[in-house]
A and B are shown apart, each in its own frame.
Chain A
Amino acid sequence: MELVPFIIKSIIILVIFGLTLLIAMYSTYGERKVAGFIQDRLGPDRAGPWGLLQPLADAGKMFFKEDFIPAQANKWLFIAGPCVAMLTALMASAVIPFGDTIIYDGVEVAVQAVEANVGILYIFGIVSLGVYGLMIGGWASNNKFSLLGAIRAASQNISYEVAMGMSIVAIIMISESLSIGDIVAQQHGGNWNIWYQPLGFIIFLTCAFAECNRTPFDLPECETELVGGYHTEYSSMKLGFYLFAEYINMFVSSAVISALYFGGYNYPGMDWVAGALTDAFGTVAGHNVATLIGTAVFFGKSLFGVFFYMWVRWTLPRFRYDQLMNLGWKALIPLAMFNIVVTGLAVIFIEPALTAMLK
């Protein structure tokens, strides 16, 4: 890789990294504000104007708390657990295309850390590794509640991963590519995949909730039964990492959902906007500004996804464990297979007929 694109990529990674951390930080604030709004109360409002400094205060508190390691715990695994959880959460954003291309000095660089042709597989690989974070941490704590939480988390995550993988197959059949960049590029304008894959989208969304251990599937940290689930024994920034990783996962999965189903950086009327900007600022600057607008649209969609997670959390009650497993295995997997078959039939029979009719 040449030096100029590499430096631009590194800057993109730095910016995305910072933004991810910032978004995860303010998601905690957002969650409490949303909860407050839904439950008809104020939420945090003491630290700074409208409580805006609350995440900073929380982070400061976490840093100065005692970094506690139980006597019976397996010390190094106990430390490794939250680190793995955080590392996998931070690595997943590498293949997500946050925008179209930026032209700098005649070189066109995509706003995407790695333009991998196997982007979807990369995301799945990293997401699966996230299970280890919970599993190692819960097991190493040597606490029965932690162990139960960790086992639940692992078994829930792997169950929903099967259905998630199958719902993606239908998308790949339509777009004939494993690269998220290509999949997004094909959804130009308002030609989003959600119009072709409504069932697949619902399956994917449900699985994303389960993968992030969010309500209604937050059994691993179910307070009413398991104290704190896999992070019962954790304190200080180790606990912070687990909570932080959950919020980062929420943001990343929302970003993946908006890239796969809601057109990523594409929005209706983008060609008109790009044309107007090119006329106004010249080819290069106009193109770059249009890309920035696309990136802003992408972040808007992802943040709406994060809001949706919170909305559901404060609306739906928690599942029971057998209900959760039944939904995953007996409902979502057959539905996902059905979705694949229907998509196949539609691509083979309906698509050529429609193309012939429109000609």
Chain B
Amino acid sequence: MNTNYLPSGFLPIVVQFVLALGFIVVTMIVTHNIGPSRKGKVKDDPFECGIEVVGDARTPISVKYFLVAILFVLFDVEVIFMYPWAVNFKKLGMFGFVEMVLFMSLLLAGFYYIIRKGVLKWEE
């Protein structure tokens, strides 16, 4: 098993990236050029079930989605904190475990607060 990690070990990612990008760009160019192209005023409108379009889609949307995004940032940062802890978990033993239980109960307290505030209520 390889235990010696060098930055140059990541070089194959570049190969994969170039391959993927090449595939995508070539496909896009080819498909753009071999298909037909017919313009029309009604055809170029956004498709909304045949009903005439009112305004455009740059409208405000429910604030719930925004709250979910903010919560995600908070919780994902907490999860990232757990990764280094989890890697060293067996070495830290009981001490690390108690610390993390403390951390998670704080997290859960915040979580409980969010739920009581009704942030995650979608029915309303």
Q: Given A65-B31, A147-B61, A345-B97, 20 other A-B contacts at CB below 8 A?
A: A6-B11, A9-B12, A14-B19, A17-B19, A63-B34, A65-B35, A71-B45, A94-B13, A114-B10, A115-B5, A144-B57, A158-B72, A161-B72, A165-B79, A165-B80, A172-B83, A176-B88, A177-B87, A178-B87, A348-B93
Given the known A-B contacts A70-B45, A341-B104, are A110 and B58 also in contact in the complex, defined by CB atoms under 8 Å? no
Please tell me which one of the listed residues A166, A238, A240 contacts residue B82 in the complex, with CB atoms under 8 A apart.
A166
Q: List 18 A-B contacts (CB under 8 A).
A: A1-B6, A6-B11, A17-B20, A67-B35, A71-B41, A72-B46, A72-B56, A90-B24, A113-B16, A143-B46, A162-B72, A166-B79, A182-B1, A237-B30, A237-B31, A241-B24, A322-B122, A330-B115
* A22 close to chain B: CB less than 8 A: no
Contact between chains at B2 and A181 (CB < 8 Å): yes
Contact between chains at A91 and B57 (CB < 8 Å): no
Shortest distance from the beta carbon of A339 to any chain B beta carbon, whole Å: 11
Q: Tell me the nearest residue of chain B to A157, going by C-beta.
A: B72
Complex-state Cα separation, A347 to B88, whole angstroms: 12
Interface residues on B, range: 35 or more
Residues in A neighbouring B16, C-beta threshold 8 A: 13, 17, 90-91, 93-94, 113
* B52 close to chain A: CB less than 8 A: no
Would you list which residues of chain A between 1 and 36 have a CB under 8 Å from chain B?
Answer: 1, 6, 9-10, 13-14, 17
Shortest distance from the beta carbon of A234 to any chain B beta carbon, whole Å: 10
A interface SS class: helix
Given the known A-B contacts A90-B23, A169-B86, A176-B89, are A116 and B72 also in contact in the complex, defined by CB atoms under 8 Å? no
* A145 close to chain B: CB less than 8 A: yes
Q: Which 5 residue pairs are nearest across A and B when measured between Cβ atoms?
A: A322-B122, A71-B44, A237-B31, A143-B46, A90-B20
Indicate with 1 or 0, residue by residue over A180-202, a CB within 8 angstroms of chain B CB atoms. 01100100000000000000000
Contact between chains at B122 and A181 (CB < 8 Å): no
Shortest distance from the beta carbon of A104 to any chain B beta carbon, whole Å: 15
Most chain A beta-carbon contacts within 10 A, residue among B12, B28, B108: B12
Shortest distance from the beta carbon of A113 to any chain B beta carbon, whole Å: 5
The interface-forming segment of A46-54, A79-87, A256-264 is: A79-87
Shortest distance from the beta carbon of A246 to any chain B beta carbon, whole Å: 16
Complex-state Cα separation, A93 to B16, whole angstroms: 9
* A232 close to chain B: CB less than 8 A: yes
Would you list which residues of chain B between 61 and 99 have a CB under 8 Å from chain A?
Answer: 61, 65, 68-69, 71-72, 75-76, 79-80, 82-83, 86-90, 93-94, 97
Contact between chains at B89 and A173 (CB < 8 Å): yes
Please tell me which one of the listed residues A62, A113, A233 contacts residue B13 in the complex, with CB atoms under 8 A apart.
A113
Please tell me which one of the listed residues A9, A144, A172, A340 contacts residue B15 in the complex, with CB atoms under 8 A apart.
A9
Residues in A neighbouring B24, C-beta threshold 8 A: 83, 86-87, 90, 241
* A303 close to chain B: CB less than 8 A: no
Task: Write the residues of chain A forming the contact surface with B, with a CB cutoff of 8 angstroms.
Answer: 1, 6, 9-10, 13-14, 17, 62-67, 70-73, 79, 83, 86-87, 90-91, 93-94, 110, 113-117, 121, 139, 141-148, 151, 154-155, 158-159, 161-162, 165-166, 169-170, 172-173, 176-178, 181-182, 185, 227, 232-233, 236-238, 240-241, 321-322, 325-326, 329-330, 333-334, 337, 340-341, 344-345, 347-348
Given the known A-B contacts A176-B89, A227-B49, A348-B94, are A117 and B61 also in contact in the complex, defined by CB atoms under 8 Å? no
Residues in B neighbouring A115, C-beta threshold 8 A: 2, 5, 9
Contact between chains at B46 and A66 (CB < 8 Å): no
* B111 close to chain A: CB less than 8 A: yes
Residues in B neighbouring A141, C-beta threshold 8 A: 46, 57
Complex-state Cα separation, A334 to B104, whole angstroms: 10
Most chain A beta-carbon contacts within 10 A, residue among B1, B19, B36, B104: B1
Given the known A-B contacts A72-B56, A236-B35, are A145 and B65 also in contact in the complex, defined by CB atoms under 8 Å? no
Complex-state Cα separation, A10 to B11, whole angstroms: 10
Residues in B neighbouring A63, C-beta threshold 8 A: 30-31, 34-35
Complex-state Cα separation, A63 to B29, whole angstroms: 10
Residues in B neighbouring A340, C-beta threshold 8 A: 82, 100, 104
